[in-house]
Amino acid sequence: MMIKLTGGKVYDPANKVDGEVRDIYVADGRIIVPAPEARVDEEYDLKGRVVMAGAIDPHTHIGGGKVTIARMLLPEDHAKDEVAHTELTRAGTGHACPSTLVTGYRYAEMGYTACFEPAMLPANARQAHLEMGDTPLVDKGAFAMLGSDDFMLRQLAQKHDFSLVKDYIAWTMHASQAIAVKVVNPGGISAFKFNQRKLDLDEKHAYYGITPRDIIVTLARGLLELGVTHPLHIHGCNLGIPGNVETTLATIRAAEGLPIHLTHIQFHSYGVGGDRHFDSGAVRIAELLKQNPNVSIDVGQVLFGATCTASGDSMRQYNGAKNADPKRWVVMDIECDAGCGVVPFRYRDKSYVHALMWAIGLETFLLCEDPWRIFLTTDHPNGAPFYTYPHLIRLLMDRSFRKDMMQKVHPDALKNSTLPSLEREYSLYEIAIMTRAGPARSLGLKDRGHLGVGACADITVYADDADREAMFKTPKLVFKNGELVVRDGRVVKVVQGATHVARPEYDKAIEKPLKDYFDSYHTMRMENFKLSDEEIIEGGRGEIIVQPTKARVS
Amino acid sequence: MSAQSDGLGVGAASELYQNVTCPFCGLLCDDLEISRTGSALKVVKNGCPRSAAGFERALPAAKPLVDGKEVSLEAAIAAAAARIKAAKLPLYGGMATDVDGARAVLSLADRSCGVVDHALSEGQYRNIKVVQTSGWITSTLTETRNRADLIVIVGSDVHKLHGRFFERIVCARQSMFDDVVKKRTVIFIGEGLDTSAATGPRVGEVITLSCPNTRLTELLGVISARVRGAHLEATRTAEPKRGLLSSLLPHSWTASTPSEEIAGVKLSAVDAVVEKIKAAHYGVMVWSPPGLNFPQADLAVHLICEIVKELNVTTRSAGLSLGGNEGSPSAASVATWQTGYPLRISYANGKPEYDSYRYSIGRMIAQNEGDLLLWLASFTTDLGPPATRIPTVVLGTPGLRLAKQPAVFIPVGTPGIDHAGIMIRCDNVVSLPMKNLGRSQLPPAADVLAAIEKAL
């Protein structure tokens, strides 16, 4: 069957198409050039509509143990947002940490067709994939968390041969079915287990004697040499601490030109200036980013309201637990592998600190000139639930709306940030880069995030509404793999997305020491630690797409 | 799909399986070696009494039954579907299954506007109530095995409930940190706990504070107070002041008990234990929810977790809940990720509605709520449905104890024996693949439930 999308204004930055009126043809789930005699089976008149590839969220906590702890923690938060089943869709609940099914429906209803879980603990990988398997309509993928796991820290402490370290990184990606690697508070989750309450970039882990800098450089270089497309995804040291902008700047310098991605950078951009000793570091970060094209970021924008923070960073989450609202929280030490912390939180616009966090996020968006290196995230659900993206897009695209919103927040916060002076408005083209083309390129999704011939037909069609929030909230049409799945912001068909993975080369000989290690110390056999393809896709749960990696260097 | 327990499943007449995961308790030990001859299984290596009983049980022949009469599987599925269709409020209980089984129960309950709960929820809710009111700091099996320098077993006969916990976790031969954690102290708090397994080169001092479980909350209250540095004398008045301590000490710690004892334990012994707990680098407090079988035991879990939280102000400590038998963590986790609520959910209004009291299926059955019970028990034969007057559809392992003839009985396979699957361990972090050991051709419960849903 061939579908024709006729006459829409197309924003496809990967192919340098900026609002041109174009027809798009789709067959067998792909965007095609039709044969001259080919018959159009279905045509959609998109005159005046805006057409983009399906949106991609490169950092959203949608699957795995900590998300399910967050779900369990706050029944009253779900009770406000219960969703009944329909003929097509299952029942579930929403708000801060929506159930898996509602997550899939709502992402699709917002024009998203792919979501990436950024903090998959290898020990918990099977469950993370089970949860993502129950998240319909969107493609999925996950980043394996390394850098506080005993095996790697031991390798570094004992100065193992670098090729062995790379073998271990690659093995872990295979075993946990990951597309990328993330490091969270490098070494700090482990250090917290040894009762260290803080671990700065050059501070030594009490047991292993290595520093976060060692870990970051090792992982970043390892991934580069393994040919993994997405650079090391870094949740840095000192999250949330005033003055941590210095750590973030030092982390950028520590990379020494290696490709890195700094995630939810808003939480790492705090200075100690001003009367309250808490001000914005966004200007300094943006300056250094300009000089370091090896660095990409996502923002982790804070938006006001109740949410629940869920992170692998047990050290910082334990510290933040004193601000839990409501007063209940969970922290875990996990399998000598990682940890997690789940702390409910309420961002209030009348709070100086929260308003400043909001302002810093927006400053970061507006100061970073290269939209290819900055991605739109709230670090769902940490800064805000993902449903707030349309509101965030309007804040970026609509200066007068932004100024209106500034009237509502704590006025002192604006004095300690440059936000009031920033006049920039994002264009639709830039939004398309930040939410489609950029994440796809960064993650190495070959045929996603663009509308060129051969691309997967994940397509979102919007009304060109001057109210950008309304526009991005309720797409007119969403196609997943060439099938119409959402019309006027409601799911009309439920399909399963794919799971994207990357499989860099490694020497299978690593399994010998690994097996000894598992048998000696773990409560799980190495053979059972590894997650098979069948476990992910059984029961009609989509397919696995292995994204290409470059040839391994040594 | 056929539902016969006789006849071989897959593969050769005999086979040896390695790295087998045992589904018969929440630890999900995955290092078993099992041999199969025909449909007879034998635990060759790394078993325990519970796993031997589970794997080696002779599987009786079983056929689908409707009103006691043998029928085809298709007819039984049709009969089950007809009953569900006719029911106003079907109850989906038992839920002793793997992840796919739990998924299928939720899907069917959602479609048929029923209530879901697990047979062992009473125990699980001792924990869930704490998570949903104050939260906790917890550990996992590997973390505890390698890092604990002190383990406190609270009120649960862990060795009896989880036959290999001591061997694998407490007394493990090697640890990642042998250079810093040489010996571990093991403290038992409770009455009649089997301490015999706390032995070997890894174990240092073993201490027991003997206290009946009915008074455990009192004792934990005092430990909590002492960990906080509270002076108990302050509460020793004839009329206890209203406050944290007095509410935790319902009837004993008053001027009328001037002896230096609490719940039968000398205060000096309590203090000695408190000093050790405070001095530990990673003290882990372990309990098994089914062991805390007394009214309002969630308060005991709460106190354990508050002690742990207090310890973390200065050192590191964590709780570790065991339990998790009969697939209960799988059921609770799947329900939580699919609905936002752990269990005890009603879909009667089309939406998931959560009430840990109202939608307890045990309570609903006792009070004649609901008009059909679908009971799923695919592991042990002990987990028969509760006595009830409402008609029952049972999906069970052959040999399941049934007090009366159910309206429909469909034999189903055991995950990890008759078919493959995935289950979630008691620490709610690790999930494990379950192997098909080729014992029979009994269908997975998930397949039967999906067929029932299709027939609605």
B371 within a domain of the structure (yes/no): yes
pLDDT of amino acid B260: 84
User: CA-to-CA distance for A504 and B392, rounded, in angstroms?
Assistant: 53
Residue B154 burial (CB < 10 Å; 0-12/13-18/19+)? buried
pLDDT of amino acid B76: 98
B334 within a domain of the structure (yes/no): yes
User: CA-to-CA distance for A78 and A72, rounded, in angstroms?
Assistant: 9
Find residues 334-393 of chain A whose CB sits inside 8 Å of chain B: 334-337, 342
B171 within a domain of the structure (yes/no): yes
Q: Confirm or reject contact between B341 and chain A (CB < 8 A).
A: yes
User: CA-to-CA distance for A298 and A56, rounded, in angstroms?
Assistant: 13
Asked whether the beta carbons of residue B429 and residue A528 sit closer than 8 angstroms, the reply is no
pLDDT tier for residue A238 given thresholds of 50, 70 and 90: very high
pLDDT of amino acid B243: 52
pLDDT of amino acid B181: 81
One-letter amino acid for residue B417 of the chain: I
Interface test with B, best of A73, A325, A524, A537 (most B CBs within 10 A): A524
B143 within a domain of the structure (yes/no): yes
Question: For position B89, which CATH number holds?
Answer: 3.40.50.740
Average pLDDT, stretch A376-396? 98
Asked whether the beta carbons of residue A528 and residue B432 sit closer than 8 angstroms, the reply is yes
Check residues B180 and A144 and name the one with the higher pLDDT. A144
Alpha helices in A335-477 (DSSP H): 352-367, 389-397, 399-406, 411-415, 428-432, 438-443, 468-473
Q: In what order do the strands lie in the sheet with B184-190?
A: A305-311, A338-347, A329-334, B135-138, B316-321, B282-287, B150-154, B184-190, B203-210
Average pLDDT, stretch A385-392? 98
What is the DSSP pairing of strand A112-120 with strand A139-145? parallel
Q: Distance from B264 to chain A by nearest Cα, in Å?
A: 33
B240 within a domain of the structure (yes/no): yes
pLDDT of amino acid A47: 98
Q: Confirm or reject contact between A511 and chain B (CB < 8 A).
A: no
pLDDT of amino acid B255: 42
pLDDT tens, position by position, A28-63 = 999 999 999 999 999 999 999 999 999 999 999 999
Q: Confirm or reject contact between B45 and chain A (CB < 8 A).
A: no
Q: Is the domain of B142 the same as that of B234?
A: yes
Radius of gyration of chain B (CA): 24
Q: Is the domain of B259 the same as that of B140?
A: yes
Q: Confirm or reject contact between A121 and chain B (CB < 8 A).
A: yes
Partners of A329 on chain B (C-beta within 8 Å) are: 135
Partners of A309 on chain B (C-beta within 8 Å) are: none
- The number of folded domains in chain B is 2
Question: For position B142, which CATH number holds?
Answer: 3.40.228.10
pLDDT tens, position by position, B233-290 = 644 444 444 555 555 554 444 444 445 888 999 999 999 999 999 999 999 999 999 9
The continuous run of DSSP H or E covering B393 comes out as strand B392-396
The continuous run of DSSP H or E covering B341 comes out as none
Partners of A85 on chain B (C-beta within 8 Å) are: 110-111, 347, 350-351
Average pLDDT, stretch B381-392? 97
B197 within a domain of the structure (yes/no): yes
Point out the domain boundary residue: B294, B323, B352. B323
Partners of B103 on chain A (C-beta within 8 Å) are: 134, 539
Query: How many Å separate Cα B379 from the centre of its chain?
Result: 13
Q: Is the domain of B268 the same as that of B156?
A: yes
- Has residue B13 got a pLDDT over 90? no
Q: Confirm or reject contact between B72 and chain A (CB < 8 A).
A: no
Asked whether the beta carbons of residue B21 and residue A528 sit closer than 8 angstroms, the reply is yes
Q: Is the domain of B78 the same as that of B188?
A: no
Q: Confirm or reject contact between B23 and chain A (CB < 8 A).
A: no
- Has residue A428 got a pLDDT over 70? yes
* Percentage of the residues of chain A whose pLDDT score is greater than 70: 100
pLDDT of amino acid A554: 83
pLDDT of amino acid B1: 58
pLDDT of amino acid B249: 53
Q: Confirm or reject contact between A518 and chain B (CB < 8 A).
A: no
The partner residue sitting opposite B337, judged by closest CB among A100, A334, A524, is: A100
User: CA-to-CA distance for B87 and A542, rounded, in angstroms?
Assistant: 34
Q: Confirm or reject contact between B129 and chain A (CB < 8 A).
A: no
Point out the domain boundary residue: B292, B323, B354. B323
The partner residue sitting opposite A91, judged by closest CB among B315, B336, B350, is: B350
pLDDT tens, position by position, B188-238 = 999 999 999 999 999 999 999 999 999 999 999 999 999 999 987 644 444
Q: Is the domain of B287 the same as that of B430?
A: no
User: CA-to-CA distance for A409 and A349, rounded, in angstroms?
Assistant: 5
Calculate the average pLDDT of chain B: 93
User: CA-to-CA distance for A472 and A474, rounded, in angstroms?
Assistant: 6
Q: Is the domain of B150 the same as that of B115?
A: no
pLDDT tier for residue B6 given thresholds of 50, 70 and 90: very low
Q: Is the domain of B197 the same as that of B219?
A: yes
Q: Is the domain of B340 the same as that of B444?
A: yes
pLDDT tier for residue B182 given thresholds of 50, 70 and 90: confident
Q: Distance from A338 to chain B by nearest Cα, in Å?
A: 10
User: CA-to-CA distance for A533 and A530, rounded, in angstroms?
Assistant: 10
Tokens of B28: 């999900």
Find residues 50-69 of chain B whose CB sits inside 8 Å of chain A: none
User: CA-to-CA distance for B36 and B46, rounded, in angstroms?
Assistant: 16
What is A55-456+465-491's CATH topology? TIM Barrel (3.20.20)
* Domain encompassing residue B162: 135-323
ipTM, interface predicted TM-score of the complex = 0.97
pLDDT tier for residue B418 given thresholds of 50, 70 and 90: very high
Asked whether the beta carbons of residue A82 and residue B352 sit closer than 8 angstroms, the reply is yes
pLDDT tens, position by position, B135-170 = 999 999 999 999 999 999 999 999 999 999 999 999
Q: Is the domain of B393 the same as that of B280?
A: no
Q: Is the domain of B268 the same as that of B235?
A: yes
pLDDT of amino acid B233: 64
Q: Confirm or reject contact between B256 and chain A (CB < 8 A).
A: no
Point out the domain boundary residue: B323, B354, B370. B323
B9 within a domain of the structure (yes/no): no
Q: Angle at the Cα of B27 (from B26 to B30), degrees rounded to 5?
A: 125
pLDDT tier for residue B180 given thresholds of 50, 70 and 90: confident
Q: Is the domain of B287 the same as that of B336?
A: no
Residue for token pair 């879909």? B347
- Has residue A181 got a pLDDT over 90? yes
pLDDT of amino acid B2: 53
pLDDT tier for residue B11 given thresholds of 50, 70 and 90: low
pLDDT of amino acid B231: 82
Give the dihedral sign, CA A260/A266/A267/A272.
Answer: positive
Asked whether the beta carbons of residue B107 and residue A100 sit closer than 8 angstroms, the reply is no
pLDDT tens, position by position, A444-476 = 998 999 999 999 999 999 999 999 999 999 999
pLDDT of amino acid B237: 40
The partner residue sitting opposite A99, judged by closest CB among B281, B339, B433, is: B339
Q: Is the domain of B94 the same as that of B165?
A: no
Domain boundaries, chain A: 55-456+465-491
Q: Distance from B349 to chain A by nearest Cα, in Å?
A: 8
Give the dihedral sign, CA A388/A392/A397/A398.
Answer: positive
pLDDT tens, position by position, A486-496 = 999 999 999 99
pLDDT tier for residue A434 given thresholds of 50, 70 and 90: very high
Q: Confirm or reject contact between B126 and chain A (CB < 8 A).
A: no
